[in-house]
Structure 1
Amino acid sequence: MRNREALEGVLFALPYLLVFSVFLLYPLLKGLYMSLHDWNAIYPSQSEFVLFENYVRMMNDPLFWNALWNTVYFVALTVPPLVVLGLVLALGVNRQLKGRRFLRMVFFSPYVLTVAVVALIWIELYAPSYGVFNYYIGQLGISPPNWLNSATFGMPAVALATIWWTLGFNFVILLSARQGIPERLYEAARLDGAYGWRAFRDITLPQMKPALLFVTVVQFIASFQIFGQVFIMTGGGPGNATDTIVMYLYKAAFNQHEFGYAAAVGYFLFVALIAVSMANYKLAGDSA
């Protein structure tokens, strides 16, 4: 009977395992194999085995470190606002407000747009001559910047567009988490004289901690993989001021045709994301 149950379990899992192996496991192993070679995309059999030379080259490339710094900068610009604003909006809409269903739709609607649509909208908003931002800045008598062609403002401009675009995801997750907190906990807290900040600190935050951890880790991973907005809005420029890790990988693979080196960069990103995720979970566990 046990053998039959085990066989049935394997048969039920087989379709998923097949898809997982073809579309996830094989590419993962293939990428590692490529990263150890000077990969010839046209004649793979002629690829030269170079062991860790691609990784050594990556560590010695100033452009790689520039892209890594820009990625970390982007993460710092986006993750805290996305988590904090998502929490604020979720707590605000959870109140008994008129039109809160409409507000939910408004806050979430940007998230359904594609990255190309979002990028094109914000390119128009940042336009030097007729953009909304520069128009109102000019009305204040201040010389407006050329947002997307500025080494100083380029990355913050992309970050602002990303926050507007992806905030709805965090909002929905955190709103759902807040609505899952039993109201009897707040009723008991009010009987003990706990209102406002004390109720938020002692009930809301602890109860919403799993959701907050989830959106934080998801946003870290998404922000570390930033590509589409940068590719469309700035192309990594001016110069390399808005280059990110994935943009750097893309240029190595499709501009310079160095697929083995690009695979090494991809594996660095893969390990970095695992490390960041583990660090987030560890910090959350220590603060519990």
Structure 2
Amino acid sequence: MSTAAGQLSDLGRTRVQPARASAQQSRWSHMLYVAPFLCLYAALLVYPLFAGFWLSLHKADLFGGRRFVGFENFTRLSNDQVFLGAVGNTFYFIVLTVPALAIIGLGLALALNRQTRTAAVLRGVFFSSSVLSVTIVTLLWKVVFAPEGGFLANLLEAFGRPPIAFLSSAELALPAIAITTIWWCIGLPMMLFLAALQQVPRELYEAAALDNAGRWKTLWHVTLPSIRRTFALVLIIEVVLQFQLFGQAYLMTQGGPNNASRPMVLFLFEVGFTRWDVGYAVAAGQILFGFIAIAAFAQYLVARRKEAF
């Protein structure tokens, strides 16, 4: 009996060892599949990240001149009123656009979540603005906001009101850019909400109907709780996107009047490619990256807390 047991034990060991070797070989083969992506990721993202931070510690220009200055660029940024104004404009723009994109996108998704031809056509119409280039969008809306012969100017004159120079007003320039951005970007949140609404179990709506719940009660107690994760995801995605405001402000107002519509990306673009102060521009870019990284980390936390949503 003991001899037989020993033979079985030896047989088990001989089977386990090849299995372990096969598993180890499988891991290395998986790493070979992932290796091209990891190399590309390191070359295009990881290395530029650290190289950019190192460059932000230098006084540098586009012609290769470089002198180490430590955190002097960040100190200058903390005292630069134009940069601080650009940071304030960027956050103000996010406040103007992100809630509107989320609420309007949800409203459109609720209205167009129908299996009809009309709803399908309207979904395509509302999403079509998202495929336009920023140049076309800004040209179109500059015509709308033009104080002479523009759509809004003619509308105001029809009601006996004087035209308003939206893009030349320090108070109205950034809201005008926000309206343009909302019209341009509404397609993405609408489609995300539509996808989420189509995943809500029909049994929940049937149970709400049996309880004689009205539309508002069904919305608050069934629909919104079921798509909370998508709502949070839309908010975070739009925050990350709107932090990168550049084309609309550059093409519509050039950051004016009096820096009233200059965002952070336009600031670092002008500093780097107009003043050629590359180290200073990269330092501003590092601060912008920090803001975006915080938003991305919030998205990671939301994704991990699946059970809370």
After TM superposition, the score normalised by the length of structure 2 is 0.88
How far the C-alpha of 1:77 sits from its partner, in A, is 0.8
Q: Give the Cα–Cα distance (whole angstroms) in 1 for the partners of residues 53 and 257 of structure 2.
A: 32
What is residue 289 of structure 2 aligned with on the other side? 270
Q: Give the Cα–Cα distance (whole angstroms) in 2 for the partners of residues 40 and 237 of structure 1.
A: 26
Q: Within 5 Å, which residues of 2 pair with 1:238-253? A: 238-253=257-272
How far the C-alpha of 1:224 sits from its partner, in A, is 1.2
Q: Give the Cα–Cα distance (whole angstroms) in 1 for the partners of residues 33 and 209 of structure 2.
A: 50
What is residue 102 of structure 2 aligned with on the other side? 83
Secondary structure of 1:48's counterpart equals strand
Question: Are the counterparts in 1 of residues 232 and 302 from structure 2 also a CA contact under 8 Å?
Answer: no
Question: Structure 2: which 5+ residue stretches go unaligned?
Answer: 1-21
How far the C-alpha of 1:56 sits from its partner, in A, is 0.6
Deviations 1:183-215 (A, max 9, x none): 111101222232312211121111111211111
Matching of residue 261 in structure 1 with residue 280 in structure 2: yes
Structure of greater Rg: 2
Aligned equivalent of 1:20, options 25, 41, 53: 41
Q: Say what the alpha-carbon RMSD is for the aligned residues.
A: 1.9
Question: Are the counterparts in 2 of residues 213 and 281 from structure 1 also a CA contact under 8 Å?
Answer: no
Q: Give the Cα–Cα distance (whole angstroms) in 1 for the partners of residues 261 and 187 of structure 2.
A: 25
Deviations 1:29-81 (A, max 9, x none): 111111011113322xx411111101111011111111111111111110111
Q: 1:277 to 1:24 in 2, by over 3 A?
A: closer
What is residue 24 of structure 2 aligned with on the other side? 3
Matching of residue 172 in structure 1 with residue 191 in structure 2: yes
Secondary structure of 1:99's counterpart equals helix
Give the total of aligned pairs: 286
Aligned equivalent of 1:74, options 93, 98, 101: 93
Secondary structure of 1:235's counterpart equals coil
Q: Give the Cα–Cα distance (whole angstroms) in 2 for the partners of residues 287 and 253 of structure 1.
A: 44
Q: Within 5 Å, which residues of 2 pair with 1:175-190? A: 175-190=194-209
After TM superposition, the score normalised by the length of structure 1 is 0.94
Q: Give the Cα–Cα distance (whole angstroms) in 2 for the partners of residues 154 and 53 of structure 1.
A: 33
Matching of residue 235 in structure 1 with residue 254 in structure 2: yes
What is residue 145 of structure 2 aligned with on the other side? 126
Q: 1:197 to 1:262 in 2, by over 3 A?
A: same
Question: Structure 1: which 5+ residue stretches go unaligned?
Answer: none
Q: Give the Cα–Cα distance (whole angstroms) in 1 for the partners of residues 96 and 239 of structure 2.
A: 11
Matching of residue 58 in structure 1 with residue 77 in structure 2: yes
Q: Within 5 Å, which residues of 2 pair with 1:210-229? A: 210-229=229-248
Counterpart of 2:102 in structure 1: which amino acid?
Answer: V
Percent identity reads 38
Q: Give the Cα–Cα distance (whole angstroms) in 2 for the partners of residues 130 and 18 of structure 1.
A: 55
Q: Give the Cα–Cα distance (whole angstroms) in 2 for the partners of residues 144 and 280 of structure 1.
A: 43
Give the stretch that moved more between structures: 120-129 or 93-102: 93-102
Counterpart of 2:269 in structure 1: which amino acid?
Answer: Y
Q: Give the Cα–Cα distance (whole angstroms) in 2 for the partners of residues 48 and 104 of structure 1.
A: 54
Deviations 1:159-197 (A, max 9, x none): 101000000111111011101111111101222232312
